[in-house]
Amino acid sequence: MIEPQINLGRNALHATLCSFLGLSARDLSEIGDFSERFARDLLSGRRPFPQDTQVALQQLMVDWDAVTKASIADIEDGERIFYIYRTNEQLRASPVAGILNARGKAAGGFVGPYRAAMFAAWRTAQSKGIKVDMIFASWPEVTE
C-alpha cells in the first residue's frame, strides 16, 4: 500500500471549505486582499492559507450554517420559493445583504455560500416531501 505524503503546511481543509462554500479564486482573493494567482495557489495546495483568511473562511461557514437554519425555519413557516441571486453584486444589493457580513477584507457577502445554504435547506425540504422552488431573482437589478 502506498502511504500518502503528509505535509502539515499544505493542509487541504480550507481549500476544501472553499469548494464546499462555492467560493471562486476571485472570491478568495477578495477575502484575503491578494491576487487571484495567489488564491489559485492556495486552492491548489501550492501555498498554505494565511491565518486571517482561515479565520474568514471559518466565519463564512458559520454564516452558511445560520442561513441554512433560517431557510429551513422559513420552509417550516410555509415558504415555498427561494430566490437565488446571480452575482455577488446582486446579493450585496439585496435585502439578504443585511444578514451576510463581509468577511476578511471583502466588500460583502458571496453568492456561493448563499447558494450552498439555500441548496442545503432545499435538500432538507425534499427529504420531508416538501416542494420548494428555487428561481433566479430578477430584483435588485445590478449593472456590472
**How confident is the model over 18-29, as pLDDT tens digits?**
999 999 999 999
Nearest partner of 30 among 116, 104, 88, judged by Cα: 104
- The answer to whether residue 136 scores a pLDDT higher than 60 is yes
Mean pLDDT of 27-34: 97
Mean pLDDT value across residues 111-123: 97
Phi, psi torsion values for 6, nearest 5 degrees: -110, 125
Q: What are φ and ψ of residue 84, in 5° steps?
A: -110, 130
**How many other β-carbons are positioned within 10 Å of the β-carbon of residue 115?**
19
11 confidence band (pLDDT: 50, 70, 90): confident
Tell me if 15 sits within 8 A of 44, measured CB to CB. Answer: yes
Confidence class for position 10, pLDDT limits 50, 70, 90: low
pLDDT tens per residue, range 34-59? 999 999 999 999 999 999 999 999 99
Q: Is 39 exposed, middle or buried (0-12, 13-18, 19+ CB in 10 A)?
A: buried
pLDDT surpassing 70 at residue 9: no
DSSP H helical ranges for 33-103:
36-44, 51-76, 88-93
